[in-house]
Chains A and B, each alone.
Chain A
């Protein structure tokens, strides 16, 4: 008995293991999984000891998505550029994409609520709408394949594991992570793909600067009325309260991203799906004045809302000057439980690197989803970081040292800053009803729409085409 007691204490003592790693990635979102996948498929980096840690139960949900995809498209949908898609193809993830759940579109139609000025961007394969989980699932399958190819040095994926504490080894200054499973990992390089509130960034004491837009993004997965076949087009209406965007998904489904101030967001949240659906249709067509009135009714007398919108839309649709082709089709159905909201903000960390630390994606910078650039900036970060690590590894540098990481920082900070600036300016220009600016912007937009080469430049910038 005594011996048993001894052995069990010995086992407990041994169960807390400290392992040493080359790279630890925190966060199993698209950025973290792309990075893991790119490291595993790089001929140069694939032998490094690498672990990815995710706090939520990720593997089960990604496996079940891959084997039995759900009926409806998930509400978390992103727009990826051809460059991001090429990168996903290069690292091998795209082999496992669910093709029937993505939609590539050639056309973005933007219009303005006050002056009616409109602009159309078109370019073959401008962007592709894809569920976040579709990206995560294909990357996970790709990591599984890579692990099967080199069994002696697998990438370890720990899900449902939280990082309780990060400290610094007093001697080597390498970060040591204390995990919720009792183990510890000491690592040469810690990469934070852990989102806006990045614990890794806080550990590294890197300041993130930016501002909140005082806007909420409301998202939902919707279906257009099936009465008309159209080419897949992204629609964006610039309202002074924020942007209404309807982005195409397969089979006449679409993804809504509607940014509104907090007070309107509160009103919208109180509406049931049927009322919300009418509210979207109203916001896509009616004037700012009518919308203001409808928000009031929605707040105080929501039973009347649907009838109120119905007759206004009927008048609008019957007006001979309103060409239905200039507006999106009306929404007929909202997927139950697909509505969600999130605050819009812009931020850029002061640095993306520190000794033993790199930040990627939202941990380094966040943007408003207006031009759908958030995920694509993250993919560009991953590509640059992997190239930097490959180069530094070939140079025999310690890949966790700041001098080895510097090229990543100098490569990405400025482009991200410029992109954040562009998206921010578009947002600010369109959220005013101050007359001279409305004139200037509709004049600008009208000119832009008729001067092909400037618009081509903008399309290039948005789709990252060379």
Chain B
């Protein structure tokens, strides 16, 4: 009954382009949303609030993979990293001091990262703008296939001078991004549930991740809870999400993505997966299970150790 999330489709589509795109009806829906995209206290408030949690998810994952002692050559240069329970064992002043030193070192390395990002399905640019404002991001490219929302994103970008050199929007499909373009961070937020062939999109998106880079996605589990919260309550009863935003049959189970990533085991690992939910007075929060309702997932591409090429003097 439901469309299966499978990698089979990509084989029989191999010759055609634009299988990563959204359908005409989805496009029309986003055209209607364009004008209210940046109204953080109106119909899009829930998306603005979600952006906060998404950004936390992204930066927490990036920061937790910073190795503060990576550049230290001797033991003296290394920062002391205590055991997991040091707050309970060491005196408060000392554990605070250790935490502060670690935080400062992490922050200093984080700040210098100069990341390149690709935001697939950027919409009005909520996530793209936030990524572009991060001190560790050098450049963000946001792509979307609906001209109206790209127009909104470009207009809104002009309001903040700090974005002009860091952020660029393109009206294009993922297929038209050259294969040679690689990024440190690729995101597919609240997007897979709007495309017809998510496996192809995922496959294509992952191919743009640099070795050591990150891929972030968020979407919705295909289960009764999701139908109840996102469609029944969200769109019909509470009306906090514009009507027609979601199509239940396009929701993707977390386990399906997990199975897909497992076929790429040599290249990608899932470093984080968290369920999340929204309560009107509270905002978005993490739930204990990523198998129910909305969820976010972080993938990391494995580092490739460059083979050492010995060039003989004579060859030059």
Give me the interface of A with B, judged by CB distance under 8 Å.
Answer: 20, 43-44, 47, 171-173, 188, 393-398, 401-403
Given A395-B59, A397-B130, A403-B40: A20 and B161 interface contact (C-beta under 8 Å):
yes
Complex contact B160–A398 (CB within 8 A): yes
Does B134 belong to the interface (CB within 8 Å)?
A: yes
Complex contact B161–A402 (CB within 8 A): no
Complex contact B159–A395 (CB within 8 A): no
Complex contact B130–A395 (CB within 8 A): yes
CA distance A224 to B119 in the complex (A): 70
Does B204 belong to the interface (CB within 8 Å)?
A: no
CA distance A162 to B129 in the complex (A): 34
Chain A residues with CB under 8 A of B129 = 396, 398
CA distance A190 to B129 in the complex (A): 21
CA distance A44 to B110 in the complex (A): 11
CA distance A393 to B159 in the complex (A): 17
Question: Smallest distance from the beta carbon of B43 to chain A beta carbons, Å?
Answer: 14
Closest 7 CB pairs of A and B: A396-B130, A396-B133, A395-B55, A403-B40, A172-B159, A396-B134, A403-B48
Find B133's partner among A171, A398, A402, A403 (CB 8 Å cutoff): A398
Chain A residues with CB under 8 A of B161 = 20
Chain B residues with CB under 8 A of A394 = 55, 59, 134
CA distance A196 to B95 in the complex (A): 41
Q: Which of B128-178 contact A (CB under 8 A)?
A: 129-135, 137, 158-161
Chain A residues with CB under 8 A of B272 = none
CA distance A188 to B160 in the complex (A): 8
Does B41 belong to the interface (CB within 8 Å)?
A: yes
Question: Smallest distance from the beta carbon of A92 to chain B beta carbons, Å?
Answer: 14
Given A398-B160, A403-B40: A43 and B132 interface contact (C-beta under 8 Å):
no
Complex contact B159–A43 (CB within 8 A): no
Does B28 belong to the interface (CB within 8 Å)?
A: no
Given A43-B107, A44-B107: A395 and B41 interface contact (C-beta under 8 Å):
no
Question: Smallest distance from the beta carbon of A214 to chain B beta carbons, Å?
Answer: 39
Find A43's partner among B104, B131, B133 (CB 8 Å cutoff): B104
- Supply 16 further A-B pairs (C-beta < 8 A) apart from A43-B104, A394-B59, A396-B131: A44-B107, A172-B158, A172-B159, A172-B160, A173-B159, A395-B52, A395-B56, A395-B59, A395-B130, A396-B129, A396-B130, A398-B129, A402-B40, A403-B40, A403-B48, A403-B49
CA distance A401 to B134 in the complex (A): 16
Chain A residues with CB under 8 A of B59 = 394-395
CA distance A444 to B137 in the complex (A): 61
Give me the interface of B with A, judged by CB distance under 8 Å.
Answer: 40-41, 48-49, 52, 55-56, 59, 104, 107, 129-135, 137, 158-161
CA distance A394 to B111 in the complex (A): 10
Complex contact A402–B52 (CB within 8 A): no
CA distance A173 to B135 in the complex (A): 24
**CB-based nearest A residue for B63:** A394
Residue among A43, A171, A393 with the most chain B CB within 10 A?
A43
Question: Smallest distance from the beta carbon of A130 to chain B beta carbons, Å?
Answer: 25
**CB-based nearest A residue for B40:** A403
CA distance A172 to B161 in the complex (A): 10
Given A43-B104, A43-B107, A171-B159: A396 and B48 interface contact (C-beta under 8 Å):
no
Question: Smallest distance from the beta carbon of A150 to chain B beta carbons, Å?
Answer: 14
**CB-based nearest B residue for A22:** B162
Chain A residues with CB under 8 A of B52 = 395, 397, 403
Can you spell out 11 A-B residue pairs with CB atoms less than 8 angstroms apart?
A: A43-B104, A47-B135, A172-B158, A173-B159, A395-B52, A395-B130, A396-B130, A396-B137, A398-B133, A403-B41, A403-B52
CA distance A171 to B49 in the complex (A): 25
CA distance A394 to B130 in the complex (A): 9
CA distance A325 to B52 in the complex (A): 59
Chain A residues with CB under 8 A of B104 = 43
Question: Smallest distance from the beta carbon of B165 to chain A beta carbons, Å?
Answer: 14
**CB-based nearest B residue for A47:** B135
CA distance A403 to B50 in the complex (A): 11
Chain B residues with CB under 8 A of A397 = 52, 55, 130, 133
Question: Smallest distance from the beta carbon of B162 to chain A beta carbons, Å?
Answer: 8
**CB-based nearest B residue for A398:** B160
Chain B residues with CB under 8 A of A402 = 40-41
Question: Smallest distance from the beta carbon of A279 to chain B beta carbons, Å?
Answer: 50
**CB-based nearest A residue for B161:** A20
**CB-based nearest B residue for A403:** B40
Residue among A44, A172, A393, A397 with the most chain B CB within 10 A?
A397
Chain B residues with CB under 8 A of A173 = 159
Find B40's partner among A44, A188, A395, A401 (CB 8 Å cutoff): A401
Complex contact A396–B159 (CB within 8 A): no
CA distance A395 to B107 in the complex (A): 14
**CB-based nearest A residue for B54:** A395
CA distance A173 to B156 in the complex (A): 12
Question: Smallest distance from the beta carbon of A38 to chain B beta carbons, Å?
Answer: 16
Chain A residues with CB under 8 A of B159 = 171-173
**CB-based nearest A residue for B127:** A396
CA distance A47 to B132 in the complex (A): 16
Question: Smallest distance from the beta carbon of A392 to chain B beta carbons, Å?
Answer: 9
CA distance A173 to B158 in the complex (A): 12
Chain A residues with CB under 8 A of B137 = 396
Question: Smallest distance from the beta carbon of A371 to chain B beta carbons, Å?
Answer: 29
Complex contact B40–A396 (CB within 8 A): no
CA distance A43 to B109 in the complex (A): 12
Complex contact B160–A396 (CB within 8 A): no
**CB-based nearest B residue for A397:** B130
**CB-based nearest A residue for B49:** A403
Chain B residues with CB under 8 A of A395 = 52, 55-56, 59, 130
CA distance A273 to B55 in the complex (A): 62
Question: Smallest distance from the beta carbon of A229 to chain B beta carbons, Å?
Answer: 35
CA distance A449 to B81 in the complex (A): 49
Question: Smallest distance from the beta carbon of A86 to chain B beta carbons, Å?
Answer: 13
CA distance A402 to B52 in the complex (A): 13
